[in-house]
């Protein structure tokens, strides 16, 4: 029996063992739970990024409007945006 024959059977044994582990109910349960938590994390992060972007755009719009007024009320006009962003 040549060394190649032994390595081929070892490869097959490793593949069979890996398949058995992956197909076992506890491992499948763990993979499903990980996928669910991972997807939930991605959705929460997407919501946070979207919310931050909307808040930044709103603040920029309010600052631009206040700058267009030109009568020194820029700080007063920006206050609601600052208060809203901190809450």
* 53-79 pLDDT tens trace: 999 999 998 888 877 765 555 555 555
DSSP H or E run through 64:
helix 25-69
Report residue 7's pLDDT band, with 50, 70 and 90 as the boundaries. low
User: Of residues 81 and 62, which shows the higher confidence score?
Assistant: 62
According to the 3-state scheme, what is the secondary structure of 14-55?
A: HHHHHHHHHCCHHHHHHHHHHHHHHHHHHHHHHHHHHHHHHH
Q: Rounded to whole angstroms, what are the CA distances from 52 to 18, 47, 55, 64?
A: 44, 9, 5, 18
| Domain boundary assignment for the chain | 3-86
């Amino acid at each position: 029996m040549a060394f190649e024959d032994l390595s081929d059977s070892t490869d097959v044994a490793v593949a069979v063992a890996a398949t058995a582990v992956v197909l076992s109910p506890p491992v499948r349960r763990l993979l499903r739970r990980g996928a669910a938590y991972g997807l939930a994390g991605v959705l929460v992060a997407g919501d946070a990024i979207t919310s931050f972007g909307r808040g930044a755009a709103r603040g920029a719009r309010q600052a631009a409007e206040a700058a267009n007024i030109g009568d020194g009320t820029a700080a007063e006009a920006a206050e609601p945006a600052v208060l809203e962003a901190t809450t």
